[in-house]
Amino acid sequence: MTAPGKPIWIAIPTFRRPRQLRHLLETLPAVVAGKDAMLLVADNDPERQEGAAVVRDLIESGYELPVTLLPVPEPGLCAVRNAIVAAALGDPAMRFLAMIDDDEWPQPGWLDALLACQAGVDADVVAGPVDSMFVGPAPRWAHETLVFRAEERPAGVTAMLWASNNLLLRRAALEMLERPWFDPRFNRSGGEDLDYLARLARAGARFGWAPDARVSEWVPPERARLGWVLRRMWRIGCTETLARRKETPLPVLLIRSVGIVALRTAGLSALLLPGAHRVDIAGQWIKSWGRLYALAGGGHKAYGAL
């Protein structure tokens, strides 16, 4: 819809979250003000095209930022992320690609903090924290569990990054790996971002952490439930193991995973202690079994189970 040619691209993959996408798009102009940036909204729903409808409506209403709509008819997490990278690399003016999910929105100073960290440590990839925002009342344990707690690290160079929902990549990082950048084997399981970042790390990418580059993420009521959190931990165990199988021999992974199951099983006794984080203890045990499930050949369709 808008001709490219901006040095900073902000990419938003979207699938059937029109209200959340609209909130994100309405928040971005104030946060991105003064930056030579454009938005890329990649709608991964060829049937309902709700994301496309939101973008068109905002443009007709005089939206303040240049925005390009990218329909991605091929379903799946990797399909839409690969389409984003291909589009960004197709613009010779693009220097930085920021990624944010459609159920999130940036806090003040988000883009400035990402760019400042990148320049300060000469990072190829920079990430920041994600703060959970519960929709409606949520149980106390939900506010305390690791699944919904923002990751906190010191500012500057960091060893490894784990997700793409609050990420800045410079062009050189995108060019480190060959196409497909996101492995299609993770299309339905999730974990495609962990796998991608792990391969970037092996290729020599330098990672940075920007604690002030914060985004907020909606947590709907159906996620603030024990069953959802434990299924999430199972999936994390699966996808982490699938990614690690690319670089670690199977016997080594199997020995480690069996050892972790034994350790986590022994640790279940901590559930009886006063003040114990019981959901996290149970979640880590479930996650350890997810590792073994992946090693047994499962895991690539775990996303659909959620």
When divided into structural domains, the chain yields a total of: 2
Residues 206 and 233 in one domain: no
pLDDT of 301: 57
Residues 166 and 60 in one domain: yes
pLDDT of 188: 85
Domain finish residue from 223, 249, 265: 223
Residues 112 and 250 in one domain: no
Sole residue written with tokens 């209403």: 61
Residues 200 and 252 in one domain: no
Q: Determine how many CB atoms are found less than 10 A away from the CB of residue 65.
A: 18
Q: In sequence order, which residues have a C-beta less than 8 Å from that of residue 279 and are 6 or more positions away?
A: 141, 144, 145, 226, 229
Domain finish residue from 223, 245, 263: 223
95: containing domain: 8-223
CATH of the domain at 203: 3.90.550.10
Residues 62 and 195 in one domain: yes
Residues 161 and 260 in one domain: no
The tens digit of pLDDT for each residue in 27-86 reads 999 999 989 999 999 999 999 999 999 999 999 999 999 999 999 999 999 999 999 999
The answer to whether residue 116 is domain-embedded is yes
pLDDT of 46: 94
pLDDT of 186: 92
The answer to whether residue 251 is domain-embedded is yes
Low-confidence stretches of the chain (pLDDT < 70) are 1-4, 299-306
Structure tokens that stand for 181 in this block: 């950048």
pLDDT of 4: 53
Residues 218 and 231 in one domain: no
Domain finish residue from 207, 223, 239: 223
